[in-house]
Structure 1
């Protein structure tokens, strides 16, 4: 397999962020007197950026007059508390170490807001990740291919030389829109069956399996 670059989703792929995302959303909701969500609800709501996450969590969504203030509260609380319970999934750091030793270039492309991505990526992955891109007004969020193309440009690689690894329907669509082969991961926020339905050629159950795929 002539692959030189690996493009990773962040939440649900490299990092288990679900508890911190749930806690910050519930802090924002309760601050304005709204009902909290369960961690199971959060699991199904995340993946499309902070605005969509709040839209699904808050009664009446964007039509709610408190929407913008609630969104700002969520972002502020999350950025200050996003390392409380978050941790890499088992085997991720070993995987990233091995792919760097083997000379692969790596990037994170996320729908998490860019300030958070820029803060959290070096915290957990140090030099293992070469490029980290999050949601911002400057670039269309996933599943648009723009952030993937930007990552490839920064890595100096063509899309034919890259794999996209993620855990969600958004990731499957992003890979398809970008023209990259998609490898799904079963340990994240979406069911394995959904990933196959959306076109994943392969779904892995442990990070170590990615090394075996790359060695084929």
Structure 2
């Protein structure tokens, strides 16, 4: 297959954002006198947007009121601290540079809130990626295909030539729901075994490995 369009997940695929996410979750939990979470916990909770992240981070049977406060505290803190420890994974910038030189179309599709996706893309990838789609009230989040279709429309490309790259079960399911081939990356928030069990069409260990697929 000849792919000319690559749609990437953000957290766990392009960016290692785990420390900043964990720090902001624990900031919110501490403010509400709730038990904090380990980085391993947070790693297993990400992928479905910040509402789900907070829902999984707070103790079971926590009141909705406390959940809403925790979400507000997290988002407020994270918005100011999302670029403290976050950085692209090794090899990502080199890959994006190569893809741009070869005229591939590139987009980000994430379940992170749109303002966060826009800010992170502008800060780290604006030279290479023009279309960056996040969570928005006017479309369903992944694994629904809505955001991927939005990205394809904005790029002005044909869906037949698109490939979807991500690190989690949400990403593999999103690709299936959009009828795209999926590439699972092992450097993110899930391991190779999980990606294999989820049915990823391809699994890669380094960003450079993507070149052998496209």
TM-score above 0.5 = yes
Equivalent residue pairs, number? 214
Q: 1:62 to 1:149 in 2, by over 3 A?
A: farther
- Partner of residue 180, structure 2: 180
Shift in alpha-carbon separation, 1:169–1:62, aligned structure 2, 3 A: farther
Change (3 A) 1:61 1:79: farther
What is the RMSD computed on CA atoms of the aligned residues?
1.0
Q: Any gaps of 5 or more consecutive residues in structure 1?
A: none
Q: Deviations over 1:101-157 (max 9, x none)?
A: 101000000011111001011100122112001112111100000000000000111
C-alpha separation in 2, matches of 1:181 and 1:147: 16
- Aligned residue in 2 for 1:189: 189
Q: Aligned partners of 2:62 and 2:157: how far apart in 1?
A: 39
Q: Which residue of structure 2 aligns with residue 149 of structure 1?
A: 149
Q: Secondary structure at the match of 2:126?
A: helix
Q: Match for residue 128 of structure 1?
A: 128
Deviation at 1:212, TM superposition (A): 2.1
- Report the 3-state secondary structure (helix = DSSP H, G, I; strand = E; otherwise coil) of the residue aligned with 2:133: strand
Aligned equivalent of 1:84: 84
Match of 1:105 in 2: 105
State the 1:60 CA deviation.
2.6
Is 1:27 equivalent to 2:27 in the alignment?
Answer: yes
Equivalence for 2:45: 45
Q: Distance in 2 between matches of 1:187 and 1:63?
A: 35
Separation (CA, whole Å) in 2 of partners of 1:78 and 1:100: 30
1:161 maps to: 161
Q: Tell me which residue corresponds to 2:72.
A: 72
Deviation larger for 5-14 or 118-127: 118-127
What's the TM-score, normalizing by structure 2?
Answer: 0.97
**Quick one: distance in 2 between partners of 1:152 and 1:61?**
40
Shift of 1:93: 0.1
Q: Give how far 1:61 is off.
A: 5.9
In the TM superposition, what is the alpha-carbon distance from 1:211 to its structure 2 partner?
Answer: 1.4
Q: 1:33 to 1:93 in 2, by over 3 A?
A: same
Deviations 1:151-199 (CA, angstroms, capped at 9, x unpaired): 0000111221100000000000000001100011000001111111111
8 Å contact from structure 1 (residues 55, 61) kept in 2: no
Gaps of 5+ in 2: none
SS at match of 1:22: helix
CA distance in 1, matches of 2:37, 2:182: 31
* Cα drift, residue 38 of structure 1: 0.3
Q: What is the deviation of 1:63?
A: 3.8
Segments ≥4 residues shifted beyond 4 Å: none
